[in-house]
Amino acid sequence: MLAVDELRVSFPSWSRETLERHAISHAEDVAIERGHIPGDGPVDRLVVNMLRHEFTTYDETQTVAVHKAACEAIAARYGWLGPECERQVRQREQAERDAQLAVLAGLDEEAAARQWQHDRVAESRATIGALTVGMVVNATVKGHFREATVTKVGRSRVTVAFRLKSGAERTALVYARDVHPKSEAVAPDQ
């Protein structure tokens, strides 16, 4: 992995106009290589991108720190590109922060989903003892409230048989917490 202090640069001694012309051509070539339609962007952005990818060793690791070092080297050599380099560094750092926050949010969602599943199983195990084969129940099956008959009792789930409005018979495996004996059935949430 390339360390920041190992970033190598070999910037050309071209005029601003030559840099801009080469950057536009480079951006078009890259777009075509990737199967995109060449578009236009701010020329300073195109120049910074070309210099970073073609005249530094940035592509060896593409870390945030190396990106920043490459942009700082570009700004030091081509002062007129300083504002664009600063913008790209800020944008890259923000994107990195956003990505880290997204990962953390995903981990939080996974933990919440695991807890929800744990709670659902625990609630079902606590109530399954009241259910027996042949019992007529109201069950929530895939979000639909169904009148059904228990055909099998497991540790936390039961198999229920029911009829669709078309008359077709179906069975479903549902958690016991979503099944209520007909005499004490709970109406679905509205």
CATH architecture for residues 131-181: Roll (2.30)
Secondary structure letter of residue 10 according to DSSP: -
User: What is the dihedral angle through the alpha carbons of 53, 57, 58, 59, rounded to the nearest 10 degrees?
Assistant: 70
Q: What's the pLDDT at 146?
A: 95
| 162-187 pLDDT per residue, tens | 999 999 999 999 999 999 998 754 55
Question: Residue 9 is encoded by which pair of tokens?
Answer: 């640069």
Q: Is the pTM of this model over 0.85?
A: no
Radius of gyration for the alpha carbons in the chain, expressed in angstroms and rounded:
31
98 pLDDT above the threshold of 50 = yes
Domain with CATH 2.30.30 in the chain: 131-181
